[in-house]
């Protein structure tokens, strides 16, 4: 049995949490393979809204095992709060949640470093979530990091203090005030809490699932255009958010990757800084923002909104090997009489291209649009594809034709029931 991968194809916030929840009944295992508490996977069902930051989105399904993989960076404080927030659901975490021993820990000083680095950039801030993600991955690559498996080692305290001293030395070079003692108390409490969970060599767990023909869904965080290598650098996250990240973040061989589900919004959004060719600065952009409740699930920051960008979407499909597309938030565009899709970029020399420039920040890029008639009707109660407005069907089929990939799920609202599976 192969591992299916689900990931975002834009700048994050595509609706991955909802889709994982919808797909979860088909799988025995759901595994997060990268990112950390900078993710905010939103699920809505039974009239309740839930935002998961580190725990895989299959956790609400009783029979599904959920794995936090080695490619993730884990904040014990956030983890403890998440678990406590889910206590009312009577979830058997001992049975259904496993954490890789190789998962890197986010220390309080990682968050302090994150804030100090961002402050020092002045007007050139990249829009970090300030969750300590980047500094934690830095320590991982520099071979300084502390992993989940280390918390049961007899010399954990010493390792922790040595790394904190290194971080304090770096902080001393910045004009940045902090109170470490205040931040440390909940961290130590959370570490003790974490020790009671299933800490495993998750690569063995995953591969045993493959061998025994169990179904596995690898859940990505952020979006492909935030990938550390292939995203809009330097306005990116600190991990590989694409399909290859599932291999390194879970210990899965490339030959064992099956379907690749690519999620995208019917329009585009972005949180924080960075290039955004189709961004709307007018009333239409504000209407989309309001109708789509486009505010970050992790930070609360307003999301910038714009038209669907086909060159960017095709790029993400190419680097991920996407086999199926899932289109989210089609219902949001119901408020508009006219829609646009960017089909090409026009460069400063007049050249038309479908390719992503090396550096969007330095290249003058003007989007070339194709206009579509809107469907201007509420679609949230539609249950069958054949009953969708013809204008929405035309919009969907145009994207399929241009990308060469079928759109097999159309989301018409935040609830798991407001979903059409083709």
**Alpha helices, H only, 86-155:** 93-96, 108-120, 133-141
Within 8 A by CB and 6+ apart from 88, the residues are none
167 catalytic per annotation = no
Give the CA radius of gyration of the chain. 21
Report residue 395: phi and psi, to 5°: -60, -45
Burial of residue 111, with CB atoms counted within 10 A of its CB: 0-12 exposed, 13-18 middle, 19 or more buried: buried
- For residue 330 the two structure tokens come to 């089609």
Between CA 368 and CA 354 the distance in angstroms is: 10
Residue tagged active-site, from 13, 114, 139, 227: 13
* H or E element, residue 239: none
Report residue 41: phi and psi, to 5°: -95, 115
Between CA 81 and CA 336 the distance in angstroms is: 40
For 369-413, the DSSP string reads EEEEE---S--TT--SGGGS-HHHHHHHHHHHHHHTS-EEEEE-S
* Distance from the first to the final alpha carbon of the chain: 23
Between CA 210 and CA 196 the distance in angstroms is: 27
For 301-358, the DSSP string reads PBPEEE-EEHHHHHHHHHHHT--EEEEE-GGGGGG-SEEEEEEEEE-TTS-EESSPPS
CB-CB neighbours of 355 under 10 Å: 11
Can you give the length of the chain in residues?
422
Residue tagged active-site, from 4, 21, 41, 110: 41
362 catalytic per annotation = no
User: Which residues are identified as catalytic?
Assistant: 13, 41
């Amino acid at each position: 049995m192969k591992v299916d991968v689900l990931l975002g194809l834009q700048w994050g916030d595509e609706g991955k949490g909802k889709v994982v929840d919808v797909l979860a009944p088909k799988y025995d295992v759901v595994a997060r393979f990268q990112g950390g508490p900078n993710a905010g996977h939103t699920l809505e069902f039974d009239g309740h809204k839930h935002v998961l930051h580190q725990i895989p989105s299959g956790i609400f399904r009783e029979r599904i095992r959920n794995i936090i993989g080695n490619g993730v960076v884990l904040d014990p404080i956030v983890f403890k709060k998440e678990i406590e927030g889910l206590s009312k659901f009577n979830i058997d975490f001992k049975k259904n949640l496993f954490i890789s021993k190789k998962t890197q820990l986010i220390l309080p000083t990682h968050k302090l470093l994150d804030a100090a680095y961002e402050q020092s950039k002045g007007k050139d801030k990249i829009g970090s979530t300030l969750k300590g993600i980047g500094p934690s991955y830095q320590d991982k690559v520099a071979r300084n990091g502390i992993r989940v498996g280390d918390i049961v080692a007899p010399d954990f305290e010493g390792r922790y203090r040595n790394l904190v001293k290194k971080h304090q030395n770096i902080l001393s070079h910045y004009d940045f005030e902090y109170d470490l003692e205040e931040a440390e108390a909940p961290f130590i409490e959370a570490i003790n809490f974490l020790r009671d969970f299933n800490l495993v060599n998750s690569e063995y767990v995953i591969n045993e699932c493959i061998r025994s023909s169990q179904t596995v869904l690898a859940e990505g965080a952020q979006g492909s255009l935030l990938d550390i290598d292939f995203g809009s650098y330097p306005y990116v996250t600190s991990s590989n958010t694409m399909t290859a990240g599932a291999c390194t973040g879970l210990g899965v061989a490339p030959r064992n990757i099956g379907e690749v589900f690519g999620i995208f919004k019917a329009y585009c959004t972005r949180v924080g800084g960075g290039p955004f060719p189709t961004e709307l600065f007018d009333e239409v952009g504000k209407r989309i923002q309001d109708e789509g409740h486009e505010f970050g699930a992790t930070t609360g920051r307003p999301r910038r909104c714009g038209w669907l960008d086909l060159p960017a979407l095709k790029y993400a499909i190419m680097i991920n090997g996407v086999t199926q597309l899932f289109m989210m938030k089609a219902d949001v565009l119901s408020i508009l009489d006219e829609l646009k899709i960017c089909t090409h970029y026009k460069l400063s020399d007049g050249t038309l291209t479908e390719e992503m420039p090396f550096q969007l920040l330095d290249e003058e890029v003007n989007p070339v649009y194709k206009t579509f008639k809107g469907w201007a009707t509420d679609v949230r109660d539609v249950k069958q594809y054949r009953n969708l407005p013809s204008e929405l069907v035309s919009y969907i089929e145009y994207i399929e034709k241009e990308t060469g990939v079928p759109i097999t799920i159309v989301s018409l609202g935040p609830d798991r029931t407001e979903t059409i599976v083709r």
